[in-house]
Chain A
Amino acid sequence: MMNIEKVMWVEKYRPRYLRDIVDLHHVVESLEAFLRNPNTMPHLLFAGIPGTGKTTAALCIARELFGEQWKSFTLELNASDERGINTVRDRVKDFSRYGRTGLGKAPFSLIILDESDQMTGPAQTALRRIMETSSRTSRFILICNYSSKIIEPIQSRCAIFRFSKLDKQAMVAHIQKIAEKENLVISGEVAEKIVEYSDGDLRHAINALQTAAAYGSGEIDDKTVSKVVGEASPKQVQLMLNKALNGHFIEARKMMYDLIGQYGFSGSEIVRQMQRELMKVSYLSDYEKAELTNIIGEYDYRLTQGANADVQLSALLAQFSRFSKSDRGKVVDG
């Protein structure tokens, strides 16, 4: 078989043309206007939360500009994976030199820079220069979660598109459509539950659907979805949080080192997940959660200032352990 079938549903059902994109009508309309006359297309900046179709839109543009050979004219980079601006610079330079410019429908090649808000200020300044020097031969599509993290000079060079949180009903409909194509039975409520759990992230929702389908019988029911949600959400951080909150500092710290060592999580990622898990802890009052959030915030800030993430995380866990012994007692007893 020529085409290896795409096995991950997120890829299998990734829209191939702009018109297939879920929701986002206003964005799609403007983009299609550019595509009618590619010469008018400026650099683009897509901003929005994960799973709303930013990368998909960029890939669709590439396909519509260059046809099925789009890969030859498109450079896809992920700023959070490429180490430093030099790699980006070199690859962009090489690409704009050797990329097959002008053979497609469009008179330029396309550079898609995903997660570009992960780049530091100086790196972005350098990127701005790259954009200038290669603008004759290339167009950039910058993708980010927060456009405010992109420096002004770059923003002013781009047409900015905001990808808002997807409409819940549109997502439910999409999930049901995929389920139908895969010969699965899924009720409206269950589809809604998946969407609910994914919090506006369509990629997440589709992954959850596929995983639920793997459990079995062809029918996806409420129980299966709950199981998937339970299995696939990170447990380690939650366990670590509970250990610390119950005063077992040394065990909690051991788990923290596991997260860093075995899974290679960064300090800020762990803090982010701790904050998320904290909200789910049932035995804390809202007041206590606010107190602890304050503490997390302080140490998150210190993470950015300090030199060693594990030292800061240890200290944070120690504050949590103390909380169990003193403040919490006070609040509960009094």
Chain B
Amino acid sequence: MTDDRLWVEKYRPKSVSEILGNEEAKTTFINWLEKGKKRKKKAVLLYGPAGVGKTALVNAASNQFGFTIIEMNASDTRTEKAINKVGKPATSYVSLDSFSVETKGNILFLDEVDGVFGQQDRGGIGAIVKIVKESLVPVVMAANDTDLQKLKPLKKVCLLIRFHPVRIPLIITMLRKICLKENIEAEFEALERIACNSRGDMRSAINDLQSAAAGKETLRVQDTILLKFRNKDVGMYDLLKGVFSAESVGEAATLINQSNVDYDEFLLSVSDNLPFRYTDPIELAVACDIVSRADVFRGRVGTENWRLLKYFFNLLAEAVTVSPKSFKPFKFIFPPMRIMTLFWTKPKRAKLEAICAKIALKCHISRSTAKNDVIPFIKILIEKEKSTPIINWLKLESDEVEYLTNMKKL
């Protein structure tokens, strides 16, 4: 009989000791769990990146120590009502199982609590805090990130346990164990590559291993090449690094196609970084021209002709490989300059727009005419004439006057 479950399911840790890495977090959690009624805090919040064993730890520990888990995760709606419906009974009644010897009672497990935000989950956080306060049973929560402002109220009632990415050697150990059980002969470099690529995410490493090795008897480095950017957590930074150092159009195109980054942002980033990649003005001009054509294709794609997107990708791939031989590592600009510029200058622009609107109203012209044709004169008038009739007439506020006088000349 073959077992065709996903390997992440098949090799899910059954006891705490099977979980690799994060020893400190594990110990803290087990101590908290074993204290029973003597716990200082009724709830814990496990937080850290995805795939490092938060959920696995809760499952394995409850399995080992005989708790029953009542679980809610992000797929359930988290309105106060919905949470109360599941949460209240679970927390206020002692389950029938508790009369048997094996179980020690219920644990309410709220997975992915940082998914609680937005309109649909209105009141969700408040409900969770309430449940923690009223609960008769321990509450365990898991989150990918605790920096979110919304989770603040939770921090006060919870014991916080931090999880770190799993160290690469530990991931390799795990992958080796799986290969052994699956009768796969794996090259060490291949496993190392998968492990490094996962960036400490055990779950994605196991998934990658399965997709690269399933059904094979041997696993070589070549089999893992395509994995380079399969990981959805791969950032813009890595993609840029990959494509700019690519040795051929084909290689760059493959990388772009396999990536999962926002391609508008990618387009801007490629455009931003070109002058650092190509120091020769002719190469730069050629590359910029190709990016410009890619942008035209982006315009044609619009919101419906997604079919055309492949030309967009291929042109970008061409743009980064105008002369592969001249590649020298350089420091990438990211996030895109435009996003940075527009973000920092937004208040300034808003002020200028407000001034233009006032001029437009008084002079029967459009705001853009005001900006292009009239502002330069007004600026000089305000600087030269110390009197204020024009300021009063246009009803300019003092900060707007200040803006105009300090404005860099156009």
Partner-contacting stretch, out of A26-34, A36-44, A93-101, A301-309: A301-309
Partner-contacting stretch, out of A119-127, A128-136, A157-165, A317-325: A317-325
Q: Which of A203, A231, A311 has the most CB of B within 10 A?
A: A311
Given contacts A8-B390, A262-B408, contact A81 B367 (CB under 8 A): yes
Partner-contacting stretch, out of B59-67, B208-216, B378-386: B378-386
Interchain CB contact under 8 A, A319 and B367: no
Interchain CB contact under 8 A, A318 and B377: no
> B260-297 toward A: CB 8 Å interface, digit per residue (1/0)?
00001001100100110000011011011101110110
- What is the distance, in angstroms, from B137's C-beta to the closest C-beta of chain A? 54
- What is the distance, in angstroms, from A224's C-beta to the closest C-beta of chain B? 11
Interchain CB contact under 8 A, B373 and A204: yes
- What is the distance, in angstroms, from B263's C-beta to the closest C-beta of chain A? 11
A210 touches which one: B264, B299, B381 (CB < 8 A)? B381
Interchain CB contact under 8 A, B380 and A228: yes
For A80, list chain B residues within 8 Å (CB).
366-368
Across the two chains, which residue of chain A brings its CB closest to B270? Answer: A311
Interchain CB contact under 8 A, B345 and A78: no
How far, in angstroms, from A237 to B299 measured CA to CA in the complex? 26
How far, in angstroms, from A232 to B373 measured CA to CA in the complex? 9
Across the two chains, which residue of chain B brings its CB closest to A216? Answer: B384
Interchain CB contact under 8 A, B376 and A231: yes
How far, in angstroms, from A72 to B384 measured CA to CA in the complex? 37
Given contacts A8-B390, A214-B384, contact A264 B352 (CB under 8 A): yes
Partner-contacting stretch, out of B89-97, B160-168, B231-239, B335-343: B335-343
For A321, list chain B residues within 8 Å (CB).
281, 284-285
Q: How many residues of A contact B (CB 8 A)?
A: 68
How far, in angstroms, from A216 to B408 measured CA to CA in the complex? 23
How far, in angstroms, from A321 to B345 measured CA to CA in the complex? 27
Partner-contacting stretch, out of A171-179, A188-196, A249-257: A249-257
For B291, list chain A residues within 8 Å (CB).
311, 314-315
For B337, list chain A residues within 8 Å (CB).
257, 310
A264 touches which one: B267, B362, B371 (CB < 8 A)? B371
> A278-316 toward B: CB 8 Å interface, digit per residue (1/0)?
000000000000000000000100100111101110111
For B366, list chain A residues within 8 Å (CB).
78, 80-81, 114-115, 118
- What is the distance, in angstroms, from A142's C-beta to the closest C-beta of chain B? 14
| B118 beta carbon closer than 8 Å to chain A | no
For B380, list chain A residues within 8 Å (CB).
211, 214, 228, 231-232
- What is the distance, in angstroms, from B252's C-beta to the closest C-beta of chain A? 18
| A104 beta carbon closer than 8 Å to chain B | no
Given contacts A215-B384, A314-B271, contact A247 B281 (CB under 8 A): yes
| B30 beta carbon closer than 8 Å to chain A | no
Interchain CB contact under 8 A, A59 and B384: no
For A308, list chain B residues within 8 Å (CB).
264, 267-268, 271, 295, 298, 338
How far, in angstroms, from A307 to B380 measured CA to CA in the complex? 36
B295 touches which one: A118, A208, A211, A307 (CB < 8 A)? A307
For A215, list chain B residues within 8 Å (CB).
384
For B371, list chain A residues within 8 Å (CB).
263-265
| A153 beta carbon closer than 8 Å to chain B | no
Interchain CB contact under 8 A, A315 and B372: no
Given contacts A231-B376, A306-B299, contact A269 B368 (CB under 8 A): yes
How far, in angstroms, from A216 to B385 measured CA to CA in the complex? 9
> B345-356 toward A: CB 8 Å interface, digit per residue (1/0)?
100110011000
For A166, list chain B residues within 8 Å (CB).
none
| A102 beta carbon closer than 8 Å to chain B | no
| B20 beta carbon closer than 8 Å to chain A | no
How far, in angstroms, from A232 to B345 measured CA to CA in the complex? 23
How far, in angstroms, from A5 to B389 measured CA to CA in the complex? 9
Across the two chains, which residue of chain B brings its CB closest to A301? Answer: B296
Across the two chains, which residue of chain B brings its CB closest to A322? Answer: B285
For A7, list chain B residues within 8 Å (CB).
389-390, 392-394
| B365 beta carbon closer than 8 Å to chain A | yes
How far, in angstroms, from A172 to B88 measured CA to CA in the complex? 86
Interchain CB contact under 8 A, B385 and A214: yes
B360 touches which one: A78, A260, A312 (CB < 8 A)? A78
- What is the distance, in angstroms, from B368's C-beta to the closest C-beta of chain A? 6
How far, in angstroms, from A295 to B409 measured CA to CA in the complex? 27
| B364 beta carbon closer than 8 Å to chain A | yes
How far, in angstroms, from A6 to B360 measured CA to CA in the complex? 14
| B374 beta carbon closer than 8 Å to chain A | yes
How far, in angstroms, from A80 to B381 measured CA to CA in the complex? 26
For B394, list chain A residues within 8 Å (CB).
7
Q: Which of A231-262 contact B (CB under 8 A)?
A: 231-237, 247, 249-250, 253, 257-258, 260-262
For A208, list chain B residues within 8 Å (CB).
377
Interchain CB contact under 8 A, A322 and B292: no
How far, in angstroms, from A262 to B345 measured CA to CA in the complex? 6
For A118, list chain B residues within 8 Å (CB).
366
How far, in angstroms, from A10 to B364 measured CA to CA in the complex? 10
B282 touches which one: A6, A236, A315, A322 (CB < 8 A)? A322
Given contacts A81-B366, A264-B371, A311-B267, contact A302 B385 (CB under 8 A): no
Q: Which of A1-32 contact B (CB under 8 A)?
A: 4-8, 10-11
| A326 beta carbon closer than 8 Å to chain B | yes
Given contacts A263-B352, A319-B288, contact A59 B364 (CB under 8 A): yes
How far, in angstroms, from A210 to B364 measured CA to CA in the complex? 18
A249 touches which one: B284, B349, B365, B389 (CB < 8 A)? B284
Given contacts A78-B366, A214-B381, contact A312 B295 (CB under 8 A): yes
- Listed in ascending order, the chain A residues whose CB lies under 8 Å from chain B are 4-8, 10-11, 50, 55, 59, 76, 78, 80-81, 114-115, 118, 201, 203-204, 207-208, 210-211, 214-216, 228, 231-237, 247, 249-250, 253, 257-258, 260-266, 269, 299, 302, 305-308, 310-312, 314-316, 318-319, 321-322, 324-326
Known contacts A302-B293, A318-B288; 9 further A-B pairs (Cβ under 8 A): A7-B394, A78-B365, A207-B377, A236-B409, A249-B275, A260-B341, A302-B292, A311-B268, A312-B292
Q: What 6 pairs between A and B have smallest CB-CB spacing?
A: A322-B285, A315-B292, A318-B288, A261-B341, A214-B384, A315-B288
- Listed in ascending order, the chain B residues whose CB lies under 8 Å from chain A are 264, 267-268, 271, 274-275, 281-282, 284-285, 287-289, 291-293, 295-296, 298-300, 337-338, 341-342, 344-345, 348-349, 352-353, 357, 360, 362-369, 371-374, 376-377, 380-381, 384-385, 389-390, 392-394, 408-410
